[in-house]
Amino acid sequence: MFLAKSALLILVCFFLSNAICAIAATVNLDWKIEYTNVTRLCHTKSLISVNGQFPGPTVYVTEGDTVIVNVTNLVSNNVTIHWHGVRQLLSAWADGPVYITQCPIQTGHSYVHRFQVTGQRGTLFWHAHISWLRATLYGAFIILPKQSASYPFSTPTTDFPIVLGEWWNSNVEDVIAEALATGGGYNISDALTINGQPGNLYDCSQQDTPTFNVTQGKTYLLRVINAAVNFQLYFGVTGHNLTVVEADAEYTKPYNTPYIVLAPGQTTNVLLTANQTAGQYYMAASVFSPAPIGPVPFPQTATTAILNYVVSKSNRSSTSNATTSLGPLPTFPAYNDLQSVETFYRALRSQSYSKGYYYMDVPQAVDEDLLFTVGYSLQPCPQGEQCRGPLGERLSANINNVTFADPSISILQAYYNQINGVYETDFPEQPLIDFDYTGSYNGGMQSILGTKVKVLNFNETVQMVFQDTSLLFFESHPIHLHGQNFYEVGRGSGNYNPSTDPLSFNLNDPPSRNTVSIPSGGWAAVRFRTTNPGVWYMHCHIDLHNSWGMAMAFIVKNGNGTSQTLPAPPADLPPC
C-alpha cells in the first residue's frame, strides 16, 4: 500500500516535474522521559531527560513530513512536550502546553504526538511545557527544505545546531517552587550553556568546551536557538561576521552583523565563512537585560565554545594547534544596550519569495485590533504567610491586567467538549484603564486573576500591539504565540500612538516570527491571519514571567469543511 502510494507520487512528480514535488516521509520517534545523572561545574545531579540525553536529541525532519513521537513518562513529575514554532495545522492536540491543549502525561503513561510539518523550514526547537521542566528537557527541531527545493543562499558545507541554555546546580523545580511560594525573586542559574556545556570560562568545564571544526574558506550554517529559561542572549564569534538568513523558521533577507540577539523562544540561522587566519576562535553568548541590574540579576560569565580551523596537510586532516590561547571573546554591546538590540531586530526583513514554494500573507487590513499591555503586578499574600514581593505581596505578571491562572482541565478539551466553567471568554481587547503606560505610575498594582481567552473567527486578520508598562520596572518581554507565526510590522519606544504609529508599519517585508521581543519601555505590533482552528497559548517566554501569569490564550473557531475543522482528539490524549 505504502509502495503503491509512493510510486504514484513519483509518477505525478515526473509529469509535473515542478520544484515543489517531494515524497513526504514519516519520522517515528520513541522518547522515554527518564532520570539521568549529569555533572556540570563539579556538581552531579539527577535530571529529567529524553532517553538519558542532555540536552535532548536533535530532531531532523523534512518539510512535508509527518512526525509521530511516542512520549512515555518514567519520572515522578507530570510532563508535556511542545514543538516550539511548529504550526500544528489542524493538530492542536499535539501542541503540548499543559492545561491549554492537553492535561499532563502522568507517571507511567504515554502520549503519541502526531503532526505534519507544513509551510515552514529552518530551525526550531522542542521543549517541555509544564512548570520549568524545559530547563533540562529541550533540543533542536530542524526542518530541512524539501529535497527538490534549495536554500535562497548558497548551500553551506554543513550545519551546526547551537542550542543556548541555562544550568542550575540545584533541582530546577525547587527553584521555581520556592519563588512562587515566597512571591519574590528567584535563584538565577549557575551557568549559561552552549549545547549543554558552560564552556571554558566556568569552573570544571574547560575540557568539555564544545568545539566546532571548520575548514578555511568554507561556509557553515549555525542554527542558533535560545532555549534559555529566563534570559535574552547575545551570540557571536570572534573575528567573524555573521549573515542572518532565517529567523523562527522563515527565511530573511541576508543581514550582515558582528553579533545577533535572541530572546528565549527565538531561533536564528546565520552563515559563517571561515575566512580568517587558521586558528581557534571563541564563540560566546552572554545576557542582554535592559532592566536595571538591581531587580534582575543574571549570570555574569559568558558561555563559550570554540570555532576550530582544521588544517589539512597533504591528504589527512589534523586539528590545528596553531594557537594555544584563544584570543579575545567576541565583542557585544553592553548588557543593557537597548538601542543596539533595537537596531538588530529592526534590520530583519522577510525574504520575499523564493523557489515558488513559500509566500507571504501580511494582512493589509485588520479585523481585530488588540492593544495588550504587558508588565508586572501584585497578587495578595495569602493569610498568615510572609511574602517577599513589593509591599509584602506576591509578584505577578499580566497581559491587560489579567494574570493567567491555569485551569484544572485543558482549555481545548473544555472548548471541544463544551464543558462550562473552565475558562471565560472576556479577555480584554484593550487595557481596562487608559493611563500613561510608560510614564510614572502611582495607582494600584493588583491584577485580576483569571483564565480568560479571546475568541477569534476563522480567517480573520488580527493586529496585536504589545505595550510594555512602567509598573515596577520596564522589561523586554518576549511574547510567543503558539500555532502560527505573526508578522512583526512595527516597534517603537514609549507609548504606542494608534493614529500615527501605523503609518510607518512595514506591511511589505516584515519578519515572520513566533516570538517577538517587546522593546523595554516601548511597544511592538504584530499581525496574523487565523487559519488554524484550535486553542493557542500566548505568553512571555521568560519562564519566570510565564509562571507569574503573563499569558493568555486564543480560541480560533473552525472554518468550513474538514480542511478548516479541528479533528477529534486522539484516543490516548492524557486524561486529567
Per the document, the length of the chain is 576
Least Å from the CB of residue 428 to Cu ion: 19
Which string of x and - marks every residue 110-149 that binds ligand C2O (by CB under 6 A)? Answer: -----------------x-x--------------------
Q: Is 443 helix (H, G, I), strand (E, B) or coil?
A: coil
Residues sharing a CB contact under 8 Å with residue 165, sequence separation 6 or more, in sequence order:
55, 135, 138, 192, 193, 194, 196, 227, 228, 229
CA distance 556 to 546: 22
- Among 54, 62, 82, 260, which residue interacts with ligand C2O (rule: CB under 6 A)? 82
Q: Which is nearer to Cu ion, 527 or 541 (CB)?
A: 541
CA distance 160 to 40: 22
Least Å from the CB of residue 297 to Cu ion: 16
Least Å from the CB of residue 325 to ligand C2O: 38
Q: Which is nearer to ligand C2O, 376 or 536 (CB)?
A: 536
The option from ligand C2O, Cu ion, none interacting with 540 (CB < 5 to 8 A, set by class) reads Cu ion
Choices 159-167, 169-177, 519-527, 535-543 (CB under 6 A): range interacting with ligand C2O: 535-543
CA distance 259 to 239: 11
Unique residue bearing C-alpha cell 536529541: 57
The option from ligand C2O, Cu ion, none interacting with 539 (CB < 5 to 8 A, set by class) reads ligand C2O
Asked if 74 and 41 touch (Cβ cutoff 8 Å), the reply is no
The option from Cu ion, ligand C2O, none interacting with 545 (CB < 5 to 8 A, set by class) reads Cu ion
Residue 493 neighbours by CB distance under 10 Å = 15
The option from Cu ion, ligand C2O, none interacting with 82 (CB < 5 to 8 A, set by class) reads ligand C2O
Residues sharing a CB contact under 8 Å with residue 341, sequence separation 6 or more, in sequence order:
232, 261, 288, 290, 333, 476, 517
Q: Which residues pair with 492 in a beta bridge?
A: 523
Site for ligand C2O in 463-482 (CB under 6 A): 480, 482
Q: Which is nearer to ligand C2O, 97 or 511 (CB)?
A: 97
The option from Cu ion, ligand C2O, none interacting with 510 (CB < 5 to 8 A, set by class) reads none
The option from Cu ion, ligand C2O, none interacting with 223 (CB < 5 to 8 A, set by class) reads none
The option from ligand C2O, Cu ion, none interacting with 477 (CB < 5 to 8 A, set by class) reads Cu ion
- Residue 539 binding ligand C2O, by CB under 6 A: yes
Least Å from the CB of residue 235 to Cu ion: 20
Residue 108 neighbours by CB distance under 10 Å = 10
- Among 40, 84, 529, 545, which residue interacts with ligand C2O (rule: CB under 6 A)? 84
Q: Which residues pair with 525 in a beta bridge?
A: 465, 490
Phi, psi of 271 (to 5 degrees): -95, 140
Residues sharing a CB contact under 8 Å with residue 80, sequence separation 6 or more, in sequence order:
96, 97, 98, 102, 104, 105, 128, 129, 130, 574
Q: Which residue is nearest to ligand C2O (CB)?
A: 84
Site for Cu ion in 528-547 (CB under 5 A): 540, 542, 545
CA distance 40 to 165: 13
- Among 97, 104, 299, 330, which residue interacts with ligand C2O (rule: CB under 6 A)? 97
Q: Which is nearer to ligand C2O, 279 or 549 (CB)?
A: 549
Q: Which is nearer to Cu ion, 102 or 398 (CB)?
A: 398
Asked if 241 and 293 touch (Cβ cutoff 8 Å), the reply is no
Q: Is 557 helix (H, G, I), strand (E, B) or coil?
A: coil
Q: Which is nearer to ligand C2O, 199 or 265 (CB)?
A: 265
Least Å from the CB of residue 470 to Cu ion: 15
- Residue 554 binding ligand C2O, by CB under 6 A: no
Q: Residue 286 burial by CB count (10 A; 0-12/13-18/19+): exposed, middle or buried?
A: buried
**What is the CB-side half-sphere exposure of residue 187 using CA atoms within 13 A?**
15
The option from Cu ion, ligand C2O, none interacting with 191 (CB < 5 to 8 A, set by class) reads none
Choices 10-18, 245-253, 344-352, 534-542 (CB under 6 A): range interacting with ligand C2O: 534-542
Asked if 136 and 49 touch (Cβ cutoff 8 Å), the reply is yes
Task: Tell me which residues touch ligand C2O (CB under 6 A).
Answer: 82, 84, 97, 127, 129, 265, 480, 482, 537, 539, 541
Task: Tell me which residues touch Cu ion (CB under 5 A).
Answer: 477, 540, 542, 545
